[in-house]
Structure 1
Amino acid sequence: MENNVLNENDPSLRDKMLAELFLDQTMNDFKRSKILREIDQSLKNKDKQAFLRLTEELKSVS
């Protein structure tokens, strides 16, 4: 019921909210992917400090 009221009053608001959710998810996916690549690189370089920092950063994105 509440969704129908929202859609009837301002259909563009629903579209804006969906677009914002999509953008947020896309940005999180991009950040996660970037961090995972950096973690792989830190493992190749045997850089423990970078690995620990990046794994903590990954926890905040996931």
Structure 2
Amino acid sequence: MEPIQYTPYMAMLSLTAEMVLDQAIRNYREQMLYQKIDCALAKGDEASFISLTNELKLLKL
């Protein structure tokens, strides 16, 4: 069995797949933070709200 020879096209596909996965993870994390922020607002938990919004700001950089 011969080893796989990676071509520039395969490298580009790999990079694209990694970028798509990173964006999906970022979107999921953002949605979860928005949900937690909503819960903190509903409970009146100011400390959690501030912490979560700061985390969201960092995520959006």
State TM-score, norm by structure 2. 0.85
Q: Give the count of matched residue pairs.
A: 54
Aligned to 1:32: 30
Pairwise CA RMSD? 0.8
| Deviation by residue 1:5-60 (Cα, 9 ceiling, x = unmatched) | xxxx5210000000011011001000000000000000000000000000000001
Which blocks of at least 5 consecutive residues in structure 1 are unaligned?
A: 1-8
Which of 14, 17, 32 aligns to 2:12? It is 14
Moved over 2 A (4+): none
Which blocks of at least 5 consecutive residues in structure 2 are unaligned?
A: 1-6
Please state which structure has a larger fraction of its residues in helix.
1
